[in-house]
């Protein structure tokens, strides 16, 4: 029988271990709330949406950091993180479209291009490895920050010029890198920081992953 003095310690450990999963599901909730706010457009809905986008990014940053700190980061957790990331950004993009249709109609060519390249990364990954993309490349993380800034600008003003252009070109380059990584890898692998690291993995070498952003 478990000694009584150890039970509180084990209970606290379980609570701490649930934090990364809680942050991931919180981001899922934020996405659904953002869509609802864009539809009903209650008082201060734009400000609330911007706050939720920022909280979503913060949760995305810290769920992995906390998981690695607690040494509970796993392939299952990383795959779930990537899946919910996609849902969160689809919800946010959909909300921006609901609020600012004119902007999306005006920039439809660039949007079709970037969404097509994004879809292509998943097609390649499923054809080659029968699994989704979970590379978590560093350049992709930079793109995520530009997406956040661009969507916030669109939400607040229904317009984005230079920021949208930066987001578009960074997005194209980061997706092309992901495609290159997928083509280079012999076996499916999660957390590949860059194409350079993909070449190392292809040659059977160990790679060093950043403790804060990968692994």
Per-residue CA distances from 157 to 10, 181, 184, 191, 205 (Å): 49, 36, 41, 36, 48
Question: Both tokens of residue 53?
Answer: 């986008």
pLDDT tens track for 42-91: 999 999 999 999 999 999 888 888 887 887 778 888 888 889 999 999 99
Q: How far apart are CA 31 and CA 104, in angstroms?
A: 19
* Local confidence band at 156 (pLDDT 50, 70, 90 cut-offs): very high
Q: How far apart are CA 60 and CA 24, in angstroms?
A: 7
Record the pTM: 0.85
Contact 80, 24 (CB under 8 A): yes
Question: Both tokens of residue 215?
Answer: 């692994």
What's the DSSP call for residue 58? H
Which of 165, 181, 172, 171 lies closest to 141 in space, CA to CA?
Answer: 171
């Amino acid at each position: 029988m478990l000694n009584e003095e150890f039970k509180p310690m084990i209970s606290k450990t379980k609570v701490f271990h649930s934090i990364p999963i809680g942050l991931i599901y919180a981001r899922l909730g934020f996405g659904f709330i953002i869509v609802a706010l864009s539809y009903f457009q209650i008082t201060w809905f734009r400000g609330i949406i911007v706050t939720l986008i920022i909280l979503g990014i913060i949760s995305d940053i810290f769920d992995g950091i906390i998981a690695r700190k607690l040494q509970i980061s796993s392939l299952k957790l990383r795959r779930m993180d990537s899946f919910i990331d996609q849902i969160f950004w689809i919800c946010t993009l959909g909300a921006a479209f609901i609020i600012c249709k004119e902007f999306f109609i005006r920039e439809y060519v660039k949007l079709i291009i970037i969404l097509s390249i994004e879809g292509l990364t998943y097609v390649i990954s499923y054809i080659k490895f029968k699994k989704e993309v979970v590379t978590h490349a560093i350049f992709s993380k930079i793109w995520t920050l530009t997406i956040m800034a661009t969507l916030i600008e669109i939400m607040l003003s229904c317009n984005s010029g230079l920021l949208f252009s930066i987001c578009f070109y960074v997005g194209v380059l980061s997706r092309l890198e992901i495609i290159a990584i997928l083509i280079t890898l012999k076996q499916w692998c999660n957390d590949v920081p860059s194409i350079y690291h993909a070449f190392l993995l292809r040659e059977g070498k160990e790679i060093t992953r950043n403790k804060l952003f990968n692994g």
